[in-house]
């Protein structure tokens, strides 16, 4: 505990409860997830850059989505793994805590905006295919990506600033494995009700705002697909959207549970589970979601592996 006149200059992350043996098991599991996430998403970025068959807006956006997944898991995982590997509580400075929370929220917001843009891209591809190349030209795609990144980072400056304007004098023990906003607000001595309400409204605007074009786009996409007379045609049309739709359900579902609610300071156990899903499970699943159901990506991967094998033999 701390006295009422002082504010924390560093925080002790409590991480996961349990024995050291359990921590070592969790370390092995999360290290595997992290390694696969880095390798899988890096492979997607590389093949999108080098394979001419993947030089289209859909895969251009996918490359940036994979880069965001690498970033969001790398913001969290190194500290999580370090805490599991070594015994005792681990401290993080106030500056590092501010930086981690800002990057985590900014990258997540950028991802939401990009997912909304990808939904519109799929709408144009399915509902207006003859004008697809005109509407989704390279100039448009580059601007969409720039706006996504800039908006994501600018929109999270005030929420992080508002969070750290409070005096954290109740304790410096943070019941989480990273600097999570809800648990930080629990340590504040001031009245956080108004700030929590404003943060709730901002979460609604960002998440629901980026979800709206996705819902509208898929409403038109489904309507268009149902009008296709043949079953094979319907399957082919839906296969171009299935990966993105699956990722949207997983990504938005977990974040709606964590951020779109008036009270930000819910139970730590609940926070940890949902945060793990966002920062560990979803980035891990991304390469599988976008490759297993995509014939072009699978062909590019097979050709890439063949080239690598020939280089090794030579």
Higher-confidence residue: 230 or 132? 132
Strands across the sheet containing 10-13: 90-93, 10-13, 173-174
Mean local confidence (pLDDT), 11-22: 85
Q: Which of 131, 170, 176 is nearest to 15 (CA)?
A: 176
Contact call for residues 183 and 175 (beta carbons, < 8 A)? yes
- Positive or negative, the CA dihedral 266, 74, 157, 60 is negative
Query: What single-letter DSSP state applies at residue 172?
Result: S
Contact call for residues 253 and 281 (beta carbons, < 8 A)? no
- Least confident residue range of 6-20, 41-55, 233-247, 252-266: 252-266
Structure tokens at 98: 């501010």
Query: Helix and strand tally (H, E) in the chain?
Result: 13, 3
Of 23-27, 193-197, 298-302, highest mean pLDDT: 23-27
Higher-confidence residue: 81 or 238? 81
Structure tokens at 168: 């954290």
Query: What single-letter DSSP state applies at residue 165?
Result: T
Q: How confident is the model at residue 258 (pLDDT cuts 50, 70, 90)?
A: low
Mean local confidence (pLDDT), 234-255: 76
CB atoms within 10 A of CB 301: 17
DSSP 65-88: HHHHHHHHHHHHHHHHHHHHHSSS
């Amino acid at each position: 505990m701390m006295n009422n006149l002082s504010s924390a200059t560093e925080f002790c992350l409590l991480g996961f409860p349990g024995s050291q043996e359990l921590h070592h098991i969790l370390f092995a599991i999360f290290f595997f997830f992290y390694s696969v996430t880095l390798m899988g998403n890096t492979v997607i970025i590389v093949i999108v850059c080098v394979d001419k068959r993947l030089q289209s807006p859909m895969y251009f956006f996918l490359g940036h989505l994979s880069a965001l997944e690498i970033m969001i898991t790398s913001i969290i995982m190194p500290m999580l793994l370090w805490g599991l590997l070594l015994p005792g509580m681990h401290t993080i400075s106030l500056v590092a805590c501010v930086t981690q929370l800002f990057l985590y929220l900014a990258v997540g917001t950028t991802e939401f905006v990009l997912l909304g843009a990808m939904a519109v891209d799929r709408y144009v591809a399915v509902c207006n295919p003859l004008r697809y190349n005109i509407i989704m030209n390279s100039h448009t795609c580059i601007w969409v990506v720039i706006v996504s990144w800039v908006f994501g980072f600018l929109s999270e400056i005030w929420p992080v600033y508002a969070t750290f304007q409070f005096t954290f004098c109740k304790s410096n023990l943070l019941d989480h494995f990273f600097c999570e906003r809800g648990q930080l607000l629990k340590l504040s001595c001031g009245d956080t009700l108004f700030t929590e309400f404003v943060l709730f409204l901002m979460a609604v605007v960002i998440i629901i705002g980026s979800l709206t074009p996705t819902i509208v786009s898929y409403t038109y996409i489904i309507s268009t697909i149902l009008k296709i007379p043949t079953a094979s045609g319907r399957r082919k049309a839906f296969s171009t959207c299935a990966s993105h739709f699956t990722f949207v359900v997983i990504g938005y579902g977990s974040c709606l549970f964590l951020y779109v609610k008036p009270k930000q300071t819910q139970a730590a156990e609940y926070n940890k589970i949902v945060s793990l899903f966002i920062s560990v499970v979803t980035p891990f699943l991304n390469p599988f979601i976008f490759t297993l159901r995509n014939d072009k990506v699978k062909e590019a991967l097979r050709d890439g592996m063949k080239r690598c094998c020939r280089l090794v033999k030579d």
